[in-house]
Amino acid sequence: MTAKQTVQQKDILNIQSVTNPVLSPDATEAVFIVTQIDEKENTYHAHLYHLQVDSGKSTQWTYGKERVSQPQWSPDGSQVAFLSTRDEKNQLYLMQAAGGEARKLTDYETGVTSFLWSPCGKKIWLTSTLEDGKTFTDKKEKEEDKQPEALRVTTMKYKMDGVGFIKEDHHSQIGTLDLDTEEITAFTNEPFHHSLNAISHCGKKLVMGVNRAENKDFDFRQPLHLVDLDTKEETTLVDEEGYFGGATFSEDDRYIAYTGSVRTFENATHSELYIYDTENQTTLNLTEGLDAPIGDAVVADTQQGPNPPDAVWTEGNYLYFQVTTMGDVRLYFADLEGSLYPASQESEHVYDYDVAKNGQFALAAISNPVNPGELYRLDIATGERKALTSFNETYVNDTILVQPETIQFGGAGGFDVHGWLMKPATYKEGSKYPLVVNIHGGPHAMYGNSFFHEMQLLAAQGWGVLYINPRGSHGYSQEFVDAVRGDYGGGDYQDIMDALDNVLENHAWIDKEKLGVAGGSYGGFMTSWIVGHTDRFKAAITQRSISNWISFFGVSDVGYYLCDWQIKADMTNVDKLWKHSPLKYAENVKTPLLILHSEDDLRCPIEQAEQLYITLKSMHKETEFVRFPESDHNLSRTGKPNLRITRLNELTSWFEKYL
């Protein structure tokens, strides 16, 4: 019998991500996507798989150097359409369910962003980003004929992390593609971004999102409109400050479900599930009594490209959707009379799903702290489940994985604080071990009962790992998630320190003289803040962080409004911005600090790291700075595989040196 191996940095090359389960119309078949890393190509490949639901037999349908996404069955179940990058840009492909080669349907300059089948099965609605005045089929200029061009900027939302600079004269448009002729007909052409949400089962109505405001610098609306396809007459479903989307029609077309959040607490506001009644033209907030957000707020590092529906209707006008709650993401059931309850179990992360139209079972992609994720059939009535895939079974069986222990304690201000503690993978009773505190980003995200390779890696090095959800985290009450706003470094810092004191008091195996702390984004801010306010940690690693809210205001893609939303201050109150900036407290830092940052990060630009590094160096502090080229804010999750491994090596090497 082969001995189990400890978790290694390169394990991300072996872990496969199982996502995008989509049931056929009769629910006897399904398709899904498996993403894995090609080490030689230093990239990700995502392929389409077919599943026989009853037998659990799966077959790979696509191969090659591509990333497949958004698979959808035709209304009669005879074909599957999907997007693929096999020719660089995402283009639309069509495959017969009976087998055969995929047929390429589009070759647009900017590719296809999203699509929906028309109920007739003879055409497909799609969106693509077009230059104003151009059509879907206009050919792009040859690369060798291009000259560098200046970019004129007149708006404040002119760049986006992971995207780059945004051209003001390019907008997302909707068109219809005839499958027989492959001719595309434009449905929209106004100089605004249009999103494709849903098409009624009768084929006569469409829900689209469009914000027609001329100046959107301080406009954060995504109105939804119900469009009559014959007359193009629009009925507004919702038009208020906040984001709304994910619309879907009930089976009888009377109701439209959609999700969204208003701006009561800015980006800390819980998402809700709304129902619009097309007959009475009334709207119901179906989850008003649920003090938890709709959707998935879990942060993890192995699930690639999940694309769960916002909600799924079943016969009888019942609904299923995800809810983030107490460290779990669970599938929930609701009806229009107000019934609301979980339809999946506790202590796991349902990160993707579909539900059979008769409501008898769900097909769900599920992870837990010791399993990266597989597809399961969940019987709705009995709660029974059956594993349908085993892509990560060998890895799980051959690897020492640590099951975290749940912790909970009463924090400051009357809040309960929830989190997890992992013992070292090499733990032996009576020995002492270092402890690393790992802090998530967001801050409006959540650590959860999900597989997290980085946590397992730290435990494999012989360290304990503490990770909690301090105030500001999603998954708890609205009051809890809002409590961090205007108080960065206050109650949230106290929650982390109280959690540390709690585990030190109750777990004698932790060596209190060998404590480390790390985090990224908001977690990077908090790491930098912590070392400026206490010297109890022997090593710290700050990643993709904010160090100076004053400069962040002008350089981040979201800075000019996020400062107001999160710190409750703008450039008219630089004293408050500076008060909450870790850079202000650099002189107090005694902990050796490693700074990791991506060069193409537009969310927390690298100048934030540069300021912190040079300031600390000028004060003769113990610090080093590692820059990651060709990487954005999501390096640790979706970055180039070799650089993800380098980052993990940097983490473990720094702690090994000082702990």
The residue annotated as part of the active site, out of 24, 261, 521, 581, is: 521
Kindly give, in sequence order, each residue whose CB lies less than 8 Å from that of residue 387, ignoring residues fewer than 6 positions away: 56, 374, 375, 376
Enumerate helices (H) and strands (E) in the chain, giving the number of each.
11, 40
The residue annotated as part of the active site, out of 47, 453, 633, 636, is: 633
Amino acid at 285: N
Q: CA 409 → CA 92, 415, 607, distances in Å?
A: 51, 9, 38
Q: Is 3 helix (H, G, I), strand (E, B) or coil?
A: coil
Give the Cα separation of 470 and 481 in Å (integer).
9
Give yes or no for a contact between 110 and 135, defined as CB atoms under 8 angstroms apart: no
* Torsions phi, psi for 459 (to 5 deg): -65, -35
Give yes or no for a contact between 184 and 137, defined as CB atoms under 8 angstroms apart: yes
Q: Which of 260, 256, 258 is nearest to 278 (CA)?
A: 256
Q: Quick one: tokens of 146? A: 């291009």
Concerning whether 633 is annotated as a catalytic residue, the answer is yes
Give the Cα separation of 534 and 528 in Å (integer).
10
DSSP state for residue 221 in the 8-state scheme: B
Amino acid at 362: A
Give the Cα separation of 204 and 256 in Å (integer).
14
Taking residue 79's Cβ as centre, other Cβ atoms within 10 Å add up to 18
Give the Cα separation of 220 and 239 in Å (integer).
10
Provide the b/e sequence for 600-621 (b: ≥16 CB within 10 Å): bbbbbbbbbbebbbebbeeeeb
Amino acid at 655: F
Kindly give, in sequence order, each residue whose CB lies less than 8 Å from that of residue 618, ignoring residues fewer than 6 positions away: none
Q: Which residues are catalytic?
A: 521, 633
